[in-house]
Amino acid sequence: MNLGLETGIAAPALIAALRPRAEAARLWAVRDLAKGDAAFAPGDDSGDVYLLLSGLVRLVYATETGDAWIKSFIIDCGVFSGRGAAEAGEGYGAEAVERSRFVRLPRGLVEAAVAEDAGVRAAYAAFSAWVLARKQAREAALLTMTAEARLRAILAAAPEIAARLPQGDIARFIGVTPVAFSRIKRRVGTSA
Residue 50's alpha-carbon distances to 15, 104, 112, 145, in angstroms, are 10, 5, 16, 31
d(CA 114, CA 119): 8
Helices (H) and strands (E) in the chain, counts: 7, 6
Tally of domains in the chain: 2
Task: Verify that 111 and 149 share a domain, yes or no.
Answer: no
Task: Verify that 107 and 153 share a domain, yes or no.
Answer: no
2 within a domain of the structure (yes/no): no
Task: Verify that 40 and 101 share a domain, yes or no.
Answer: yes
Q: Domain containing 111 — which CATH number?
A: 2.60.120.10
Q: Which amino acid appears at position 61 of this protein?
A: Y
Task: Verify that 160 and 69 share a domain, yes or no.
Answer: no
Q: Which helix (H) or strand (E) holds 136?
A: helix 118-144
The domain of 174 spans: 145-192
Contact residues for 34 (Cβ-Cβ < 8 A; gap 6+): 96, 99
Provide the pLDDT confidence category of residue 189 given band limits of 50, 70 and 90.
Answer: confident
Task: Verify that 39 and 58 share a domain, yes or no.
Answer: yes
> Is this structure's pTM higher than 0.95?
no
3 within a domain of the structure (yes/no): no
Q: With 50 as the cut, is the pLDDT of residue 1 above it?
A: no
As a whole number of Å, the end-to-end CA separation of the chain is: 18
> pLDDT tens for residues 154-177?
999 889 999 999 999 999 999 999
4 within a domain of the structure (yes/no): no
Task: Verify that 92 and 178 share a domain, yes or no.
Answer: no
Average pLDDT over residues 51-60: 96
Task: Verify that 93 and 187 share a domain, yes or no.
Answer: no
> pLDDT tens for residues 102-130?
999 999 999 999 999 999 999 999 999 99
Contact residues for 143 (Cβ-Cβ < 8 A; gap 6+): none
d(CA 103, CA 29): 6
Task: Verify that 90 and 62 share a domain, yes or no.
Answer: yes
